[in-house]
Amino acid sequence: MSDQQQQVEFSGLVLGFCSAALSYMGFGDSSAPRNLALAKQNIDILGLLAEKTKGNLSEEEERLLKDALLDLKTKYTDQQKNS
């Protein structure tokens, strides 16, 4: 890998899926159409990631993933109720 290329960090991967899920739920850019199915898909991917990496993450990475999932699931449930 050259110096100009950035290594993908685990936190960046998690935050990318979080950002996508939030966007699909209608948070952020108000011009983007809401799509709860795609939001759930991103949340499910994070859940799968949590399951498959269990015991192989640093405390910080594990906390980030756990907190992100909790926050996204709460927001998703709220969005479903408001649909």
Q: Is residue 26 part of a domain?
A: yes
pLDDT-derived band at 82, boundaries 50, 70, 90: confident
Enclosing domain of residue 43: 10-81
- Contact call for residues 53 and 13 (beta carbons, < 8 A): no
What pLDDT was estimated at residue 83?
79
pLDDT tier for residue 4 given thresholds of 50, 70 and 90: very low
Number of domains making up the chain: 1
Are 21 and 72 in contact, with CB atoms under 8 Å apart? yes
3 inside domain: no
| Structure-block tokens of residue 67 | 């907190």
Q: Which residues contact 30 (CB under 8 A, 6 or more apart)?
A: none
Residue 52 lies in a domain: yes
> For 27-71, how does the pLDDT look when each residue is reduced to its tens digit (9 = 90+)?
987 677 899 999 999 999 999 999 999 999 999 999 999 999 999
Confirm whether 1 is domain-assigned. no
